[in-house]
């Protein structure tokens, strides 16, 4: 059961970060993605150099496709690390802690 | 002193929760330190501290965020004491680790990890917390002791720097067709 829950948790995290990648991309490029952004977009915006959106520290926005690619690569790399076997030392440590060995 | 059954249950729950979060703690520590031995030492220290201060953890709140905060603070403490990791706030190391772009969107995972490792510490940390672990900007900012806007800026800078170092920005622009002026990210402007 734990494995199923873990997978579901990871699925939810994946959904969250993928959604945020898109939202960030839209936000950083100055395009509206929702009611809050639309509200912000309706405000007069001071254009500094004609390319940078507010909140980007003067950087030009990253293209949405690039932002999503970065997100995918990051999650792939991180997933690989998440799947690495846990060394026995941690199980022993937790046993020790539970018995009051280091508390 | 004999432990109460309730106390045993709590310990058992805590042990199970810590075990479930071990992969995340190790992945985060590995990505931060770029050294497996150091990362495992950091995780071990985090577990011990969390256990010793488990009475300070409010049941029902975010255990993962609490553990990540302990791990992060422990690492910062190590950095201050031992200086065993070279910080790269100006991104000089990152610039030297730049990867040639011809590999396009199918570049090797090793190159990605190398580029990730080359990010300044605060940006790498921000990207991992928000982009990989799925923490909200608010939670990540709280964990790192900075403003939400600062966290957003760090994540954005990290993405732009990675994209530039890996040649993704230009690849993405060409994949999407003719680049428009707002879709072009100039190299070196990070």
Tens of pLDDT along chain B (190 residues)?
A: 445 555 666 777 889 999 999 999 999 999 999 899 999 999 999 999 999 999 888 878 899 999 999 999 999 998 887 765 555 444 454 444 444 444 544 456 788 888 999 999 999 999 999 999 999 999 999 999 999 999 999 999 999 999 888 887 665 555 544 443 333 333 333 2
**What global pTM score does this model have?**
0.69
Smallest CA-to-CA distance from B42 within A100, A84, A90, A81 is with A90
Smallest CA-to-CA distance from B97 within B109, B112, B79 is with B112
What the block records as the tokens of B86 is 């070279």
Which residue from B minimizes the CA distance to A60? B185
Cα–Cα distance, B34 to B28 (Å, whole number): 10
How high is the ipTM of this complex? 0.70
Q: Cβ of A70 and B30 within 8 Å? A: no
Q: Cβ of B11 and A98 within 8 Å? A: yes
Q: For chain A, say whether B111 makes contact (Cβ under 8 Å).
A: no
Which residues in chain A are closer than 8 Å to B52, comparing Cβ atoms? 102-103
User: How far is the CA of B1 from the CAs of A93, A97, A100, in angstroms?
Assistant: 22, 16, 11
What is A26-70 written as a DSSP string? HHHTT---SHHHHHHHHS----SSSSPPTTSTTPPPPPHHHHHHH
Which residues in chain A are closer than 8 Å to B113, comparing Cβ atoms? 77
């Amino acid at each position: 059961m734990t494995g199923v829950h873990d997978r579901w948790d990871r699925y939810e995290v994946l959904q969250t970060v993928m959604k945020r990648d898109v939202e960030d991309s839209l936000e950083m490029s100055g395009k509206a993605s929702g009611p809050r952004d639309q509200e912000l977009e309706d405000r007069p915006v001071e254009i500094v150099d004609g390319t940078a959106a507010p909140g980007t520290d003067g950087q030009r926005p990253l293209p949405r496709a690039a932002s999503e690619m970065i997100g995918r690569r990051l999650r792939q790399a991180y997933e690989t690390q998440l799947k690495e076997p846990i060394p026995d030392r941690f199980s022993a440590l937790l046993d020790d802690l539970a018995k009051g060995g280091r508390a | 002193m004999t432990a109460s059954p309730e106390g045993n249950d709590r310990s058992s729950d805590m042990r199970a929760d810590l075990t479930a979060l071990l992969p995340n703690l190790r992945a985060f520590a590995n990505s931060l330190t770029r050294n497996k031995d150091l990362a495992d030492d950091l995780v071990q220290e985090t577990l011990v501290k969390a256990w010793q201060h488990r009475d300070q953890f409010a049941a029902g709140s975010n255990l993962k965020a609490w553990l990540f905060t302990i791990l992060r603070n422990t690492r910062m403490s190590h950095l201050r004491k031992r200086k065993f990791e070279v910080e790269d706030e100006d991104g000089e190391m990152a610039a030297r680790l730049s990867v040639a772009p011809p590999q396009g969107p199918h570049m090797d995972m090793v190159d990605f990890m190398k580029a990730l490792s080359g990010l300044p510490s605060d940006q790498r940390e921000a990207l991992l917390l928000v982009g990989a672990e799925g923490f909200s900007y608010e939670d990540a900012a709280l964990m790192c002791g900075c403003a939400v806007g600062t966290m957003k800026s760090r994540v954005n800078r990290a993405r732009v720097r990675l994209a530039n170092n890996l040649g993704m920005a230009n690849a993405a622009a060409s994949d999407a067709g003719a680049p428009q002026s707002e879709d072009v990210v100039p190299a070196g402007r990070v």
